[in-house]
Amino acid sequence: MPEVFLSLGSNTQRYRHMTIALDSLNQQFGSLTLSRVYESESVGFPGSLFLNMAVGFSTDMPLNELAAQMWAIELSNGRKVGAAKFSPRTLDIDILSYDDACGCHAGIELPRAEILYNAFVLLPLSEIAPERCHPVDGRNYRTLWQGYQSDQKLWPVPFQWQGRDISAG
């Protein structure tokens, strides 16, 4: 089954929306691999702090159905259709990778370019898939994070989900 990695983010009722997203993903896909939850400043617009994390799981769901399912979860959590790219989000779920797919598939560019330039994507992904190699760059996510250079700041925050403290990863 294909291995999928997602990035989750929220800066509006953050803890509520991140919890709902994890509940929805767990119900749909079963066992999830979770990074720590990080708080970070908004990128691209002045806004409140975001919560971000990475989630991994395996599924036999085709990519187009997976993308539709992620969009449905976002919409059911108040995502505004047609909102500006850089704006507050109740919930943002991005498919980072779907196995080793490269290029545009089902309207999704894979792997997602943000992996290489946003700390709030790369650090959590490096926690849950440190030895997995970026399908284009070829380096593993641990190595990519170790060599990451940017002024983006993020810090782990306490987070409980289903009675489990995922603050430590």
Residues 32-84: pLDDT tens digits? Answer: 999 999 999 877 766 789 999 999 999 999 999 999 999 999 988 876 666 55
φ/ψ (deg, to 5) at 143 = -65, -40
For 142-152, what is the mean pLDDT?
95
What is the C-alpha separation between 133 and 102, in angstroms, rounded? 13
Q: Is 155 helix (H, G, I), strand (E, B) or coil?
A: strand
CA 7, 10, 15, 148 dihedral sign is: positive
Cα Rg of the chain (Å, integer) = 15
The pLDDT of residue 79: 64
Question: Which H or E element spans position 30?
Answer: none
The pLDDT of residue 112: 97
For 24-33, what is the mean pLDDT?
96
The pLDDT of residue 167: 77
Computed over every residue of the chain, the mean pLDDT equals 91
